[in-house]
Structure 1
Amino acid sequence: MTDINQLLDELIEREGGYSDHPADRGGPTRWGVTQAVARANGYSGDMRHFPAERAKDIYKERYWRAPGFAAVAEHAPGIAAELFDTGVNMGTGVAGAFLQRALNALNRNGRDYPDMPADGRIGPVTLSALRAFLKVRGGTGEAVLLKAIEALQGERYIALAESRPANEAFLYGWIANRIGQSCRS
């Protein structure tokens, strides 16, 4: 089982403190939480002083429990850790869709389990497909599925940089610090 508290500590360390980069559409952030998200969760102070514990509470609820990544962790802890980190960086729906797309592509044309919509919502259908995949593929299945998700993540980073040149300011860090980092500790 994945220790969410350890993931939160690692995430806070990776995200760092206060930032207000001119190319970042999210505006002022602290611990990776944008000002808009902090405000939506009741914080009204200066983002330079946004507490790490409040960031962890937001991450635990909005980026772990609500999108269903905690349920994924019951079957594939490494996948859940990657989905959590990707969800924080790209949005939980994007992370969930990466899992669904990878599972669809790895189901051997529906022989192992049926395709599902890649809607980004983790529920009974996605969890059933994940269990079936892990059962069929055994011990190496989780590692291969993780590589597929990370490939999708990397492709998205490149596409973001290509579509908005200002994102090139972040591309190196995204690739260096996001792909695979949530599962290496």
Structure 2
Amino acid sequence: MGLNLDSYDAVTAMIDDLIGREGGYSNHPADRGGATRWGVTEQQARAYGYTGDMRAYPRSLAVAVYQRAYWLEPGIAKVALRYPAIAIEMFDIAVNMGVSVACTFLQRCLNVMNQNGAHYADLTVDARLGPITMLALDAYRQRRGAEGGERLLEAIRSLKGARYIEISEARPANEAFTYGWFGRMVEMAKKAFAR
């Protein structure tokens, strides 16, 4: 957990890793996201002003969208100041499943690790990383330290894996992606272990 994500270069490297997992252009018929390039959906690209063909979507614009929409705006960068490895996992979840899912996973895990409110009050699971969530994360970190970060990370990863299964069970067309989603988890765990 000794990563340092407070520099532009470190965040860019994290985004480069993500783009490597996401790949180039895709328009898989089973993917509800439709046309994507560098992992950015056409809808997201349009929301940030891109009007061209997704096959030509510039990588530099994808990097900017990731920095703004998935790192800075939701507050995942603030998590990185406390537990960088958790922030990397949340960033990946935000891109792959949605920002609200990533934030909800953190809040749910903090709630079940607070010893029935003895360490800090239960959070309202509102899918936002506001000041109360950050205070709870600070209280958790102060009490649990680095070891607590490892356990919190595993709890979040567990929810991520369970969600992949739930998504595929609810919509069989998603089985086209399930094996790859778990490959993504394995790859990320290997990289985290190597750090």
Bucket of the pairwise TM-score, normalised by the shorter protein: over 0.9
Q: Percent identity?
A: 51
Find the counterpart in structure 2 of residue 145 from structure 1: 152
- Which residue of structure 1 lines up, in the alignment, with residue 102 of structure 2? 95
Please give the alpha-carbon distance, in whole angstroms, between the structure 1 residues aligned to 2:48 and 2:26: 19
Structure 1, unmatched stretches of 5+, are none
In the alignment, which residue of structure 1 is the partner of 2:140? 133
After superposition, residues 168-183 of structure 1 pair within 5 angstroms as: 168-178=175-185, 181=188
Is 1:114 equivalent to 2:121 in the alignment? yes
Secondary structure, in 3 states, of the residue corresponding to 1:160?
helix
Distance 2:187 2:110 in 1: 18
Report the equivalent of 1:58: 65
Instruction: Give how far 1:179 is off.
Output: 5.9
Q: Distance in 1 between matches of 2:99 and 2:43?
A: 16
Contact 1:154 1:179 in 2 (8 A): no
CA RMSD of aligned residues (A): 1.3
- Whether 1:78 and 2:85 are equivalent positions in the alignment is yes
In 1, Cα distance between equivalents of 2:87 and 2:65: 17
Mapping of 1:148-159 within 5 angstroms? 148-159=155-166
Deviations 1:130-150 (A, max 9, x none): 111111112201100000000
SS in 2 for 1:67: coil
- The TM-score with structure 2 as length reference comes to 0.91
Q: Distance in 2 between matches of 1:142 and 1:23?
A: 36
Amino acid at match of 1:29: T
User: Following TM superposition, by how much is the alpha carbon of 1:160 offset from its aligned partner in structure 2, in angstroms?
Assistant: 0.2
Cα distance between partner residues in 1 of 2:47 and 2:131: 29
State whether structure 2 residue 24 is matched by structure 1 residue 29.
no
Q: Mind listing any 5+ residue stretches in structure 2 that lack a counterpart?
A: none
TM-score (norm 1): 0.96
